[in-house]
Structure 1
Amino acid sequence: MDDSALPLAVENVASVTAQDLHRTIREALQLPDVAVEAFALWLISPFLEVQLKPKHQPYKVCRQWPDLLYRFTDASEDDMATDEPSLQFRRNVFFPKRKELQVNNEEVLRLLYEEAKFNVLEVRYPCDAEDCEKLGALVCRLELGPYRQGQQTACAVKEKLDSFLPAHLCKRPHSLFTAFRSRGPRLVPGEQGLLSAYQEVKEEAVGAEAELLTRHYRAYLLKCHELPYYGCAFFYGEVDKPAQGFLHRGGRKAVTVAINLEGVHVIDIKEKHVLLGLRFQELSWDYTCSGDDEPILWLEFDGESEGTPVNKLLKVYSKQAELMSGLIEYCIELSLTREPPPVPETKVGPPAGPGPSQRHKLRRQSSVVCSRLQHLATIDYVDDGKEIKRVKPKRTTSFFSRQLSLGPAAYTAVQPADSLEQG
């Protein structure tokens, strides 16, 4: 995904399938076989993003787009009538990161890099400032060449700063204090860090430029792999805010729900940080929609209330709840068929040192990827078979039966009691 258009001559466009069109694109771009699994066709608009199955017929899905918007979004009638999705060649949400690490083709890596860069710059992938600077430094290397000491490099970075860093790191500070400071050139918050990181980008002593670019593409993707929501599909919804103030008013906040092969992350659209992040092993879920009630995706997870272990429930209000639930279920089924569950360690001994995959920097308390449960209104409950109570000991079984199991996948829809809705 690099915002470039690829003109194609297609016969019988009304009946061509996504699989056929995918093959045509691969041939036009001269991509290797790994692209079959690495990429998929998507229909994208500001209201809805849909990954097409191979059997889907893109033309017919486009004709049905207003119906899909009515069913899965809150778009107005005018928007439904005028919205036109674009057909995009994007990363397949079901492509495992471990397979991405095995890709060596420069063009495949470039396409994956371009999509990841877009998601970082648009803050669809929230990143800490330090990580944004390191990623931006790799973009500088790829677009401007190796770092060269001098004013010319600094000017080149300044001119295209928003191509290297998200917009919120490109804004200059405005305050009474800064007005009385030196009238010399002032750096925006991320600019100095970006230049320092650019200077530290490692260069191989030998190698063709194409080979060096491939290494930098891979370095960018490896850094993005540290983000727990890398490679996800995005959905839109709302969650309840905690009651605040004398009148205990709450309200709702807009969120994106990012789902990939590893788990679910609820991201605050306005603040650009994670509100809740759960691996599939850490959650149970369900989807409810009946009558005139709002569709809801329920996420259940272990937590604490005043030091007591409890079950917590988060309600995500969204017309896309059905799509989210289906994707969660399919991702869990894939995890059970592709990889056996890990065998728990039974050895007793000193704790092992931190491995490279533990991503210490993403565990900073103030990191944007850390959950912020204090910004969410959740339900703490216990189900004793008769009623739902607020607090209980740490669960041995879930109220919802839909969860990752070490045994064969068996999902049964659970209809919450009325008191659950009112919690």
Structure 2
Amino acid sequence: MAGAGGDPIELVNLSLDFSRPSSQQASREGERSSLLEIHIYLPDLTFLALMIDQHTQATEIMDMIIATLGLNPTEARHVLSLWLVSADLQLQLKPNHCPTQLFGKWPVYLRKYTSVSPKTAAIQKPLVHLKRNVYISREEDLKVKDNEILELLFTEARCNIMDGTYPCDRDLLIKLAGLLCAVQYGPFNEEQHTIEFYKSVHSIFPLSVQSNTKLLDEYCQAVEFAHKKFDSLGKQPTGDTLNDESRLMTAYQTYLSSSHVLPYYGCVFFDGYIESTNKSFLHSSWLAVQIGTNTDGIYIISTEKEEPLLGILYEELTWEYVEMCTCSSAECHHNTSSTTGAGKLQPRMSRKSKHLKGDKIAAMPSLLLQYPASPDEQSEGVKFQVLRVYTQSARLIDAFIDNCSETMKEKCLCSPIPTPEVAVFQSATVASKDCVDTPKFPVSVPQQSADSTHTRESLERSIKSLRKPNKLLCQSFTKDGKCVSI
């Protein structure tokens, strides 16, 4: 790919490929005197100030962070990563990337991979964040032994829940709020921890709850019981009290394991649009969404209502990446597309041209997501559904999904007794392997055990519960590939 002025730019799997010329490498020591101060933001938005030069790589910065915070080097390099983050785009860096050399390219990445205006792209600047590595599985969070790293993971999860990035239902929010009270305000005290006390605390509920007086009253009444329940965190089975540090680490692990019930835990999110079923003279036919991807699947979340609309495990997913086109014809989009994924969509969608208010949205690159129909739909002859998601970040998401599907294929090949569904997934992935020209990143595959199998079953149930077909404008196909909805 080429950016402004023909400069070579390559973004693959959410990461930037930027190599330093050998001549610069040779003269690096001579330029060490020209040091720059860089701020590394932690999940709680505090930052570390480090001195680097323009050729300092991400792996060297990580070494500085490890030394400054006293982290376990092996765990830190595996679980954590450096990211470039701005208001409209976030990208995880590879070890050999030089952040200072990428800052100047940010407007190019914004224009290519987001929908912001050229004016916004020109002034928006990225910050360097230390965040969870998106390529590790959620099970690996709880294997962390380093207390400081565990606290960083806990803080990131808490912030994502508080700002609505991870939408939660009532019961989970109350459970997590009770745990936060136990962490921040100690064991439940009947005289101190009243409903009025919980109302005055601004760090245990998301803004969507805090801004709703009626909802806040209800939640604060319920959090009292949840606070009492977590008092047991400070007790050992023998009845002895844990020391403060052990109690805190237990609380962090409990918070993380509770957050893991959210299918979109650990996702990286991108802005996008889908066609809405709520079409009228007063309403737009487009619905702004967040597209989240992690090592388990892909998720569609309503931006306005912070409501999950769809979740698809990679085992169930077939997808197609569609290049950007300036015309509004869906058929034209398909004719210019490049196919990747667990299998080529057969048959391709065929939709009549129609006038769209959002011409700019319709011209964006897109992803066609194919997934099995619900049991009720299958009883009516519908085999699968296809949803089209429009996003400037389609190429990044496509590369990430492809990488994770390859990992799932390897995991399936290692399974002693593959199921029929797994066998289909394997063959479809192998068939499309040559369509991808991006390098593979190491995605961790957890070992199968009784606990992980149970976790997987819970995840599958949770993802299926996200699907809200009445809010998604999908195409329905029979097992013979016949489209039964337009």
Displacement of 1:265: 0.7
Summarize the Cα distance change of 1:335–1:358 in structure 2 as closer, same or farther, 3 Å threshold.
closer
The structure-2 alpha-carbon separation of the partners of 1:49 and 1:368, relative to structure 1 and needing over 3 Å to count, comes to farther
Matching residue within 65, 71, 87 for 1:46: 87
Aligned letter for 1:194? Answer: V
Shift, 1:237, TM fit? 0.1
Q: Tell me which residue corresponds to 1:262.
A: 296
Counterparts of residues 258-297 of structure 1 (less than 5 Å): 258-292=292-326, 293-297=363-367
2: CA distance, partners of 1:314 / 1:74: 20
Name the SS for the 1:24 alignment partner: helix
2:471 matched to which residue of 1?
375
Deviation at 1:368, TM superposition (A): 11
Q: Which residue of 2 aligns with 1:343?
A: 417
Q: What is the DSSP-based 3-state SS (H/G/I as helix, E as strand, rest coil) of the residue aligned with 1:101?
A: helix
Alignment RMSD (CA, Å)? 2.9
* Partner Cα distance (1:313, 1:122) in 2: 31
CA distance in 1, matches of 2:311, 2:91: 22
Q: Identify the match of residue 153 of structure 2 among 94, 107, 112.
A: 112
Alpha-carbon deviation of 1:383?
9.5
Choose from 245, 248, 273 the match for 1:210.
245
Instruction: Report the CA distance between 1:99 and its aligned residue.
Output: 2.1
Unaligned runs of 5+ in 2: 1-42, 327-362, 421-449
2:263 corresponds to 1:228: yes
Distance in 1 (alpha carbons) for counterparts of 2:193 and 2:143: 37
Cα gap change, 1:41 to 1:333, in 2 (>3 Å): same
Q: Which residue of 2 aligns with 1:349?
A: none
Q: Which amino acid aligns with 2:261?
A: E
User: Cα distance, 1:151 vs. partner?
Assistant: 3.8
Alignment of 1:390-405 (within 5 A): 390-391=483-484
Give yes or no for the alignment of 1:310 onto 2:383: yes
CA contact (8 A) 1:137 1:195 kept: yes
Distance 1:67 1:358, change over 3 A: closer
In structure 2, C-alpha distance between the alignment counterparts of 1:61 and 1:191, rounded to whole Å: 46
Indicate how the Cα distance of structure 1 residues 98 and 301 shifts in structure 2: closer, same or farther if over 3 A, else same: same
Give how far 1:226 is off: 1.1
Q: Specify the alignment match of 2:166 in structure 1.
A: 125
Deviation at 1:336, TM superposition (A): 3.4
What's the TM-score once normalised by structure 1's chain length? 0.79
Give the corresponding residue for 2:96.
55
Contact 1:91 1:112 in 2 (8 A): yes
Amino acid at match of 2:455: S
1:357 aligns to 2:455 (yes or no):
yes
Which letter maps to 2:149? Answer: V
Secondary structure, counterpart of 1:6 in structure 2: strand
Residue deviations 1:86-124 (CA, integer Å, cap 9, x gap): 100000001222222211221111000000001111111
Question: 1:418 is matched with which residue?
Answer: none
**2:382–2:476 CA contact under 8 A, matched in 1:** no
SS across alignment from 2:405:
helix
Instruction: Provide the secondary structure at the position in 1 that maps to 2:131.
Output: strand
Q: CA deviation at 1:187?
A: 5.8
Equivalent-residue separation in structure 1 for 2:150 and 2:121 (angstroms): 35
8 Å CA contact 2:261, 2:459 repeated in 1 = no
Q: Residue 8 and residue 361 in structure 1: after superposition, are their counterparts in 2 closer, same or farther (change >3 A)?
A: closer
Contact 2:313/2:460 (8 A) holds in 1: no
Q: Distance in 2 between matches of 1:98 and 1:152?
A: 34
1:273 and 1:391 map into 2 onto residues whose CA distance is 28
Q: CA deviation at 1:343?
A: 2.7
CA contact (8 A) 1:69 1:80 kept: yes
Q: 1:91 to 1:2 in 2, by over 3 A?
A: same
- The separation in 2 between residues aligned to 1:361 and 1:331, in whole angstroms, is 17
More helix by share: 2
Q: Deviations over 1:33-88 (max 9, x none)?
A: 21111001111111111111112111111110000110011112331122111100
Instruction: Give the CA deviation at 1:172.
Output: 3.9
1:126–1:369 CA contact under 8 A, matched in 2? no
| Structure 1 unpaired stretches of 5+ | 175-185, 347-351, 393-422
Cα deviation code 1:214-263 (max 9, x no counterpart): 00000000001111111111111000011545x79761101111111101
Q: Percent identity?
A: 28
Provide the C-alpha distance between the structure 2 equivalents of 1:127 and 1:107, rounded to a whole number of angstroms. Answer: 26
Aligned mates of 2:459, 2:127 — CA distance in 1: 36
In structure 1, the partner of 2:225 is 196
CA distance in 1, matches of 2:411, 2:457: 24
Q: Taking structure 1 as reference, are residues 253 and 104 closer, same or farther at Cα in structure 2, changes over 3 Å only?
A: same
CA distance 1:79–1:249, shift in 2 (3 Å): closer
Structure 1 contact 280–332 (Cα < 8 Å) conserved: yes
- How has the CA–CA distance of structure 1 residues 361 and 297 changed in structure 2, closer, same or farther, with 3 Å as cutoff? closer
